[in-house]
Structure 1
Amino acid sequence: MTEDKQRIWLWVRMLSLFLFLNLNEVSAQNKIQVNSFQRMETDVTARVTAPKRDQNGEVCALIRIVTTAKDLMFEADALGITSRENRTGEVWLYVPRGARRISIMHNDYGVLRNYFYPDIIEKAVVYEMELSVGGAMQNTVSDTNTQLLVMRPEPATADIFIDEEKVPVENGLFTATMKKGTHTYRVEAPMYASQAGVIDLGSEQKVMSVVLHPRFGYLEIYSLPEQDAKVYIDSTLVGTTPFKSDRMPLRNYRIKVEKDFFFPVDSLVAITAGDTRSLTFKMTSTIKPRAPRRMLVMADMGYQSSQLSYGGMIGFVHENGAYIRFRSDFGSVSADLECDDTGTLTSGGEGKPYYNTGVEHKSRMSVVAGYLRHLWKPLYCYAGVGYGQRTLAWETVDEELVKNINHSASGAAGEVGLLLNVGKLAVSVGYHTVNFKNHELGASVGVMF
């Protein structure tokens, strides 16, 4: 016999001794006894003389409890007690058909708990229970057709079923007075293997313990050289190392441990009944390689007041970078005269209005260099400064060109925008201005490699 089995057997024997001593003490304190319980075939009180109906409208059974004791209290099973009447020398209890058990209590004489009726309780039938209380106790226990059963389950929260009926467990103990003979029992609890069997109640009281075998285990996880690594069980984050689980059902689990700057480690572990599996993961440190600096080449286009310009952008970036952009409509406009939006000459003439034919001549060019910054995952931003110019000239009836100073500008140029990178594809949108007078929207598409 193994050491564990010897320990369990010793524990069971000690528990049985404790229950026996405890039972003798309880028996000494409890002074309530059922001397007899019988069916009164000729008594028609329940169906003719004084019938009562339960909440389902069915005629109740009547249990006539023969006793001279006063102030007795009764607690029935789940079916309850429909009515109680105190009669001379008797207490009448009306109970529904199918009642199984009753507890009898008295402030001075203790408790007779969970007395199981030795007969089937049928509707409209009278039964007689002869009761001895206190000084009227008789030594007729061996002559009755009932016997005491005491059962202690382990764990104490387990459910007990006697003859397929769930019975109450109080303070980890079930006690009942039951009809002699054989009874079935079943003890079960979540995450434990249930036990079932047959009890044979005879001339001696029955005291028994039922120890359920666990159907669970525990898991401990450690990580070296550092703790606080994330622990995943079947892809679910459950905590950090050092980690100890709650009860785990018996099966295989996929364990994964992760920590920044360390390679992740995973394993398959089987949980066994009643055991604690301890795993220590040795993690290898790694410095993530620095991402290489990436080149950026893009085709560029700008738009302002129906005027398109084209160019290109080239740059490099890691977390930070730089770029240069050129944009132009590749046209050229030269004018000696200047005017404003009203058509009044402002230079090169006498300030008189000129005659516009509606023909416009435009030119656009800028060179900008700037800064690229990686914001988040595929998103970058950029900002740049440089030189730019934009010219708008109107053609007169004399085929001269007059520069519109309100829509022409040259000098300092600036721009800001966002760039999105997916794989090698790069797309950007931005805003461009010259002297904060000429405003243009721009877009680019290209590759980042």
Structure 2
Amino acid sequence: MRRKIILFISVLLYAVSPLYADVPAIMKDVKKELDGNNVTFEIIPAQAQVVIDGKQKYSVENGVLELNLPEGEHEYKISALGYLSFEGKLTSVPNESVKIKITLNKEWRGAIDLAAFPDDVEITYGRHKYGAMLELDGLPAGEHSFSFTKKGYRTVDTTFVVKSGVRNFYSVILSPIESYSKRKEKKTNRWNMLLLSQAGYNTDVSLGLMVGMMRKNGFYLKALTSLNAPKADYKCTETGMIQEGDLQHYPYYKTKTLYSQYAVSAGYLRMLGKPVGIYVGAGYGSHTVVWETIEGTKVENEDLLKSGAVAECGIILRLKKFALSCGVQSIDFSYTEIQFGLGVIF
């Protein structure tokens, strides 16, 4: 019995012994994979900084940096004082070493001298403010933005180019705000032409045109006429009686009434503010009422005829290059219609 037990234990130990023999090799491989792969940077200049994947920073003192990076793709950035930075990508492969040789380009620098006029101009560069005379050394080559300000003068924001190894000279002259206002005033004082299409309504629709010349003050001409202009064969009184020599008679009329009118006027324009103006004018006009008999004869009613002096007034609303108008016009102070206009100012 004892021999059987000893034999069983011997066979069992012999069966499991290969498993224990492979354990150190597996651990060694795993450790090697976790430690990563060897990456070597050779950099000129000798003192630089290397950033891996935007997180890990390493300082280089003798121009050589050796790292163990995990397998896969990595981003790196190399920078040094007085040199342009360099960015790139590398791929770490198992059991292979990666060597990267980089020579950084120098960051060329220059100087700039600025002079601003008149005196006491404030120069702003970045977050710093300086006087009217400014000297800056050691600026990177390229474009640099400056702002020049002084109370009572127009601010100047501009960009100057700094060339490497050169002292660059620039000057700026600020313009007084008063001169700008005078130019603006001169521009606003020039004559503008007003062109408005007109439409009026009371008993009938009239159409016309209004033309004017204006600055702050101006003048205009306007003409309107009705769409219908019936020609009468006879004339009658307000009661409809037609007088033919010594004969008087009352024909039968249709219920339809025809109208005819025209008005010509001229007047004064005045801009009260930037968007609003007014106009007043006078002229001559006529408004005719025509009845039609059942036979088709047209008869002008003399008692309802309105003709004589025209008086009008209204407002003009200016919207940049466009204009709107609204007003009233009276013929002989007995026939009045409301009028609207739409047009342009140029």
User: Normalization by structure 1: what TM-score?
Assistant: 0.36
Normalized per residue, the structure richer in helix is 2
User: Normalization by structure 2: what TM-score?
Assistant: 0.46
